Amino acid sequence: MKGKILHIDDASGEGVISTEDGARYRFSAPDLMGAGEIARAGAAVDFAVAGDRAVEVYPDPGPAHVAVRRGDKNKIVAALLAFFLGAFGVHKFYIGANLAGVIMLVSSGLGFLLFFLPNAVMGLISFIEGIIYLTRSDEQFYETYEVGRKAWF
């Protein structure tokens, strides 16, 4: 059967899957098969039914001819912004993490009051994030920063 994960509790590993016909099935963390990449709300899954529970929950790759979804953001551009303008949070604004961008911009802007220590910290954070952006695949970058809206590291 095919469906989507509606909810998964990070603490207990319990979750709910909804099918296209509106039926809902509960599952637990041991039912998740694969490398754990589906343990998030919104993930398409293929599963077997045992009573009112979903078991053997696998990621559903969809039709073989469907291309990998990529977002509007480019990981190379994000990494270059992190390397060259990262202390000011420009890369955060680019990936849509506006609050994190404002925090970095304000910290760097007020850095001269604190002997430029905030500037050094923001520069180090942006350098590390630039490396992280470059080491992720395009799909991982999309899933983490555009779908997951992850703001830091």
Domain limits at 117?
75-147
Structural domain count of the chain: 2
The three-state secondary structure class of 84 is helix
Residue 36: the pLDDT is 58
Which segments of 34-142 does DSSP mark as H helices, in order? 75-85, 90-95, 98-109, 117-135, 138-141
Same domain for 55 and 80, yes or no, is: no
Residue 11: the pLDDT is 82
Block means of pLDDT (10 residues each) for the chain, 153 residues, are: 87 88 90 71 88 88 55 89 92 93 91 85 93 91 85 82
Same domain for 81 and 44, yes or no, is: no
Same domain for 81 and 22, yes or no, is: no
Same domain for 54 and 29, yes or no, is: yes
Q: pTM above the 0.75 mark? A: no
Residue 65: the pLDDT is 42
Q: Is residue 153 part of a domain?
A: no
Residue 30: the pLDDT is 86
